[in-house]
Amino acid sequence: MNDVIELLAKEMELSPRTIYRALRNQGSEARPMVARRAEEIRRRAADLGYRTNVAARSIREGNFKQMVFVTARFDHGYAPTLSNYVMVLSELLLQRGCHLLLEEFLIDRRTGKARQPRKLFSERAADGIFAVVSAGHFPPEMEVALGELDLPLVWLNHLPSIPDSSAVISDESAAVTEMCRHLAALGHRRIAFLTLDYEHYSAGHRKAEIERAARETGLDLAVIRTNESFEQSSIRKTVNCFLDEHFPRRTAAVCYNREFMQVLRFEAAKRGIPVPERLSVCHFISIFERQILMEFPLSGVMLPEERMAREALKRMDLLAAGHPGGGPPVAVPATFVVGESTVTAPAE
């Protein structure tokens, strides 16, 4: 590049600094004469074989046409919720000519710590970061590290501890109330909520809301969970605890997610307990289950993951435009749907 600048400076009888600024689109080109001269410089530079270094220009201008999707998941674990946000965001960004990069941190189930050393390399070549807690846990040190990158950062389904953060969350309050009213209308009086003992937005929000809604509806609620938050076997232990100690007195079960629902139905079938004839089941439904629900409609709270992804992109646009972060999170309401997994409570 220096050779081209020196050659053009001599040829056009201009200073090297003027040539350099024209090639970088710097300086005031509002005046017609300056604008014409800058265009002439760039045209002559192109004739000499000069091409703008796209990567270098992106670094200078902070415009890489790509976003990073950062998440943490358990080692050897599968987090289907992750694909929901990725699918929607990647499609929306592709319409803008942007790409979505995925960067995962693997968490040790025994310790809750990241197994891999901190990478965070691709975020430095991106225009912004979407961060998602897909495993119910995000190592605090990773949360701090993302905040230190000084890039627009939007959290999905997580309330970060770092100040001035932007977040989009699901609001399941009204939907949970509808669910409890639905169960009460079917004659259920005693129900259970099967969940994990996570310190995570979804776990805390759902527990608080189902406790509130059950109280308001007059339902006798038992919250059943284990303390082994990072163990795969904890779901089965929780389910068997319910079947051993609470069924058939409690005639309906609300499951934290699809995994809980599937394990409950499997364990119930092993014991000869028909669902929903003797046990009504609801669960919190993700977007990836909708194709299945078209064939086998189930009762539960439909999570607003698609709308959350769209709101996250809107929030990212505001941050990229210079608007400050922080403020209350954007809360997207969930909806309750009635399917075939809930029926009238059996006679006592």
Cα separation, 61 vs 59, in Å, equals: 6
- pTM, 2 dp: 0.76
pLDDT score, position 241: 94
Cα separation, 59 vs 122, in Å, equals: 13
Hey, how many other C-beta atoms are within 10 angstroms of the C-beta on 126?
25
Q: What is the DSSP string of 107-133?
A: E-TTT-SBSSPP---GGGGSS-EEEE-
CATH 3.40.50.2300 is the classification of domain 66-169+305-331: yes
So where are the chain's domains?
Answer: 2-52, 66-169+305-331, 173-304
pLDDT score, position 134: 66
pLDDT score, position 188: 98
pLDDT score, position 87: 85
Mean pLDDT for the chain overall: 82
Cα separation, 280 vs 248, in Å, equals: 11
Interval 178-193: pLDDT, tens: 999 999 999 999 999 9
CATH 3.40.50.2300 is the classification of domain 173-304: yes
Cα separation, 153 vs 50, in Å, equals: 36
pLDDT score, position 5: 76
pLDDT score, position 191: 98
SS3 207: helix
Q: Identify the segments of the chain with pLDDT beneath 70.
A: 1-3, 24-31, 49-64, 74-83, 107-125, 134-137, 227-233, 291
Select from 264, 285, 288 the least CA-distant residue to 337: 285
CA distances to 57, 87, 148, 199, 330 from 141, rounded to whole Å, are 32, 27, 11, 15, 24
pLDDT score, position 116: 58
Q: Do domains 66-169+305-331 and 173-304 have the same CATH topology?
A: yes
pLDDT score, position 178: 98
